[in-house]
Amino acid sequence: MSDFDPIALGTRAQAMIEMLASISADREKLTRLYLTPEHRRAADLVADWMRSAGLTVRMDAAATMHGCRPASREGARSSRRLLIGSHIDSVIDAGKYDGTVGVVAGILAAEELQARGIELPFGLEILAFGDEEGVRFPKTLIGSSTVAGTFEESVLNMTDSAGETVRNALLHFGCDPAVLRSEGLQNADIVGFLEVHIEQGPLLERWNEPLGVVTAIAAQSRHRVRITGEAGHAGTVPMAIRHDAVAAAAEFIAMVEEVARNGVKNNLMATVGEISALPGAVNVIAKEAHLSLDIRASSDEARAQAAETIRGRSRQIGARRGVVIGIETVHQKPVAVCAPRFRKALASAIEAVTSRKAPELISGAGHDGLAMAHLTDIGMIFVRCRGGISHSPFEHVAIADLGLAVETLIRAIVEIAREEAA
Ligand code: GLV
Ligand code: MN
Ligand code: MN
């Protein structure tokens, strides 16, 4: 394998990441939600890069961009391919690197393999998913679930905050929702799925390591919480007889935090990240509060147990305050364990590139791999990010680390090809 220059590779990656970062709904901050005009522009840019890298491009019915390169001559009749990718949607007021690093790394790896004349016994398919964050609609991982063949029809009727359904948003984007269920790939055709992603946590930086191998992605669930109380006049209804939905929400939130703090050994995390009140006026006791709830843990049992505890404690809060607390589950994924053969290939690639033993870590953040694990084996590496900061405009990755990540991906692909041939 040729020598490589991490700064040169990283500089190419950084330039592409900056171009994607300039595509936003907001001039002041980076916001690129699923099936928006910004998503469209980002997808078009990615398609251009894919074509320049010699890949054949198609967009599927969930707006995922696929850039394909066939197997080399001796494997030409094989339809088997290695999937590599990540996402191009973002949270609101996002950083530049979450998701984009994996898409850019995949395209650069395909380009470099071509430029270095490296032949592979399987094809490559680079994927740019549009809905890893799940910020616009209550559902998440719509793109990767579609590729994995697990997309649920009922999701089409879910709405965003403006009342637009997933179905209509797809139609406006130029996708055909009627064929979503048949877009799933076949396991027999797929070698596996690899993803490069920023760590979004502090461990690699603390260990002074640029890259790490992910062992598993934590179990997660998302819920919509509706608290129904009784509206009233803020100046006349005595405090003792109120059924205040916002006050109940405050107690609910504090309870959720306490439950999660008691589950540290299972990496239990529970978060209420959104809240709104109805009717939402300064002098009206709220009749309704709407909240989001996100629960994660390193085991399915710990996550399910926490969800059960939260439901039980909610019933107590509701009974005491005379309000009804309804909790609806809108998304649930078990732990996705990374395949030992990919962990091995990625670790040996990291070791070849950094001359250091590859550290291992679990991902608390959700990734497209959660959905892709239903289709095929998954493998993932994390790239160090400054201060462990993510989902923030202060997200930052060093150029050299980007270069090391792209080179690691290239070498892991070659290693997997060697294993396949053995
Ligand atoms: C996505 O970043 C998630 O972990 O929710
Ligand atoms: Mn991400
Ligand atoms: Mn994210």
Answer yes or no: are the C-beta atoms of 82 and 194 closer than 8 Å.
yes
**C-beta of 365 in contact with ligand 1 (< 6 A):** yes
Mark the residues whose beta carbon lies below 5 A from ion ligand 2: 98-99
Pocket test residue of 32, 34, 89, 133 for ligand 1, highest count of atoms within 8 A of CB? 133
Question: Which tens digits make up the pLDDT trace of 306-348?
Answer: 999 999 999 999 999 999 999 999 999 999 999 999 999 999 9
Question: Which tens digits make up the pLDDT trace of 294-307?
Answer: 999 999 999 999 99
Q: In angstroms, rounded to a whole number, what is the distance separating the alpha carbons of residues 274 and 138? A: 12
d(CA 223, ligand 3 centre) in Å: 18
Question: Which tens digits make up the pLDDT trace of 218-247?
Answer: 999 999 999 999 999 999 999 999 999 999
Answer yes or no: are the C-beta atoms of 380 and 338 closer than 8 Å.
yes
d(CA 29, ligand 2 centre) in Å: 17
Question: Which tens digits make up the pLDDT trace of 23-65?
Answer: 999 999 999 999 999 999 999 999 999 999 999 999 999 999 9
DSSP one-letter string for 9-77? HHHHHHHHHHHHHT--S-SSS----TTSHHHHHHHHHHHHHHHHTT-EEEE-TT--EEEEE---GGGTT
Closest alpha carbon to 170 in 23, 33, 330, 34: 34
Count of other CB atoms within 10 angstroms of residue 103: 29
DSSP code at position 157: G
**C-beta of 366 in contact with ligand 1 (< 6 A):** yes
Q: In angstroms, rounded to a whole number, what is the distance separating the alpha carbons of residues 122 and 128? A: 20
Could you tell me how far CA 147 lies from the centroid of its own chain? 14
Helix (H, G, I), strand (E, B) or coil at 220: strand
The pairing of beta strand 275-278 with beta strand 360-363: unpaired
d(CA 367, ligand 1 centre) in Å: 6
DSSP code at position 374: T
Residues shown for the chain = 422
pTM reported for the whole predicted model: 0.91
Q: In angstroms, rounded to a whole number, what is the distance separating the alpha carbons of residues 224 and 246? A: 15
Ligand 1 atom index nearest CA of 140 = 5
